[in-house]
Structures are given as structure tokens and as C-alpha cells.
Amino acid sequence: MHSHFILSITNFLLNSSVIIMIVGVAVFVYYIFFSKLFFSKKEKISPEKASSFGGFMSGLTGPLFTLAGFLIIYATIIEQRQIFQIQNFESSFFQFITFHRQNISEMTMRHPKKGMLVTGHQAFVNYHFMYKLINEVLDSSQIFSKYDIEKKKDLSFAILYYGNTDKDSVRLSKHLEKYTTNNIDREEFFKILSAVPHGEEVPSHFIGYSNVLSSYLNQFFDYVRFVDENTFLTEEQKNKYVHMLISQNGIFEINLLYYYTNSSLADPYQVILFKKYGIDKKLDKNLVNFK
């Protein structure tokens, strides 16, 4: 159940129990001091009348106090259940944050020119500049420079993701078919990609990083969806937890999420979550500016 709804229920139950107890006390006071049904100032209190009064009040107010006690216990159970749900959620969530940090630290790539191994946050810096270089390469082509910004965003990420090597260019070629089936265009496309200088230790400047990026991207959005789908959290709580996850990412990690969600490789739900939780607002617009 939603957190606000649970809070309103527990407040209602507690307030109702207080009102019921007040009614019970009021009834008790009335029959002692104001009603002449059992006692009168002129008469002495006898054991028989006291016993009758006790039985009468027990039958009249006993159920009221029992009901009030039940409502208090029920409200406590609901509140404890909510606390238990949040504790279980946070146990999993903070474990996910640990996994996410590990994912970032374990990201690796080989520098396309220098050949050295780049890891962690620095890998995302390289992904960013490689993505920007891809965009510049597309702009240098008479054919692909005419594509609109959205198409170039999609193609740029597809090149970064799939890569262009002799061993694996099939997926990138298939992706390009969405925009052109012209063989001349296709030859031009792969020609300009292959012409970008690279080191001796790598077969192409754009070797593709789907093997590491797919895991990082899908797990990140799975963690966001885990928060989003927990209905007992308020929207305010969801935003708090998602932004705790986002804060584990540097600028260049957020840039990569932006590039991904602006490509056709992202699932629709991932694009929705990206916008819903304002991840796009964390961008450095100077770094992701497109022509």
C-alpha cells in the first residue's frame, strides 16, 4: 500500500480509538454523577447497587474500550509492517548501490590509440570523447552530415555500442539499414569509420563496447525500476532513492545514459524513467551539445 494511504489509515484508527475511549469515559462519568438509574444523593450506596452498576458499566463500556484497544493494536501492526517493508527495500537498495559502484569500477576499455587499459570513471570519459568523435566523423561526410540530430545521435551510439571491426560489423550494418539500404551510402559509412586513426593493438578506433555497456546500462535502469515499482513508497521517497543512485555517477556516466536513451537501443521504459526522475537535468550541456 502507498505510504500516504497507510499513514492516513493509521491516523484514522488512532483518532477513532481516542474518540471511542472518550465516549466510554463520558458514559462512565454520566452514570456516576448525573444519572439516577443506580445512585441518588439521598440513598446510601449498597453492595447490591454497586455490583449492578459494575455489571452494567462493564457491559456498556467494556466493548468500547476493547474496540479502542483493538484499533490501537491494528494501527501498530500496520505501521510495523510499513517499517518492515521499508527496511527490506533499503537492504536491497543499498546492496544495489554497492553493485552499481562495482560496475563502474570494473568498466574497462583499451585506448584506441595508445593501447593502454583504461578502467572505472576514466573509461566513461573515453566513451564520451569517442562518442563526440563519432559525431564529428558523421558530420565530415557529405551523406551523413545531412541527417537530422536525432538520427546522428542514434547512429553515434550504435557505432560506440556495436563497433566497426572485421570480426563484428554485422550488427552495425543491420542498424544502418533503418536509415539507408543504398550500397554506396553503406560503403561511405564504413569507409569514414575505418579511416579514423587507431593504434596497432586495436583493429579499429571503434571496436564496440556492447559487452560491458549492456550490463552497466541495463542494471542501472533495473535499479531505478526497482525503486519506481515499489508502490508503498511516496513519489518524494522514490525521487530521494533514485537520486541517491544517480549521485554515484559522475558527469560522464550521466552523459552515457543520455546518449543511450537518445538512441533506439534503449527500451521505452528506460527513456521514461530517465525523464521521470530528471536524470537529463544532471547533464553538463556544454559537453553534450550537438550541432
118 is a domain residue:
yes
Q: Residues 41, 42, 47, 49: what is their CA dihedral angle, to the nearest 10 degrees?
A: -70
Whole-number pLDDT of residue 34:
61
pLDDT for residue 243: 93
Same domain, 78 and 129: no
Does residue 94 lie in a domain region?
A: no
Cell numbers of 228, please?
Answer: 519506481
Inside any domain, residue 93: no
Task: Clarify whether residues 125 and 243 are in a common domain.
Answer: yes
What pLDDT score was predicted for residue 265?
95
Pair (54, 111) in one structural domain: no
Residues 120, 60 share a domain = no
Residue 3: pLDDT band with limits 50, 70, 90: low
The verdict on 35 and 142 lying in the same domain is no
| Cβ-based neighbours of 230, under 8 Å, separated by 6 or more | 89, 238
Is the domain of 119 the same as that of 48? no
Each residue's pLDDT tens digit, 130-187: 999 998 999 888 888 888 889 999 999 999 999 888 777 889 999 988 888 888 888 8
The parent domain of residue 80 ranges over 3-85
pLDDT at 1 (0 to 100): 47
Same structural domain, 285 and 245: yes
Residue 37 in this model has a pLDDT that exceeds 50: yes
pLDDT number for residue 43 = 56
Whether 95 is covered by a domain: the verdict is no
Q: How many structural domains does the chain have?
A: 2
The x, y and z cell numbers of residue 64, run together, are: 468500547
Instruction: Tell me what the pLDDT averaged over the chain comes to.
Output: 82
Q: Are residues 170 and 272 in the same domain?
A: yes
- Phi, psi (deg, nearest 5) at residue 161: -80, -50
Other residues' Cβ atoms within 10 Å of the Cβ of residue 275: 12
Nearest to 245 by CA among 95, 116, 112: 95
> Do 81 and 126 reside in the same domain of the chain?
no
Q: Is residue 97 part of a domain?
A: no
**Long-range contacts (CB closer than 8 Å, 24 or more residues apart) made by 121-124:** 121/250, 121/252, 121/253, 124/250, 124/252, 124/253, 124/255, 124/256
Which cell goes with 11? 491516523
Mean pLDDT of 247-254: 92
The span from the CA of 117 to the CA of 108, in Å, is: 7
Q: What is the pLDDT of residues 65-97, one digit of tens each?
A: 677 676 677 667 666 777 787 888 999 999 999
Q: Identify the pLDDT of residue 51.
A: 62
Q: Are residues 81 and 112 in the same domain?
A: no
pLDDT digits (tens, 9 = 90+) for 89-144: 999 999 999 999 998 988 888 888 887 888 899 999 999 999 999 989 998 888 88
Residue 74 forms part of a structural domain = yes
Q: What is the DSSP letter of 44?
A: P
Express each pLDDT in 182-237 by its tens digit. 888 888 888 888 888 888 777 788 888 998 899 999 999 999 999 999 988 889 99
Residues 6+ apart with CB under 8 A from 190: 164, 169, 173
Instruction: Indicate the pTM of the whole model.
Output: 0.75
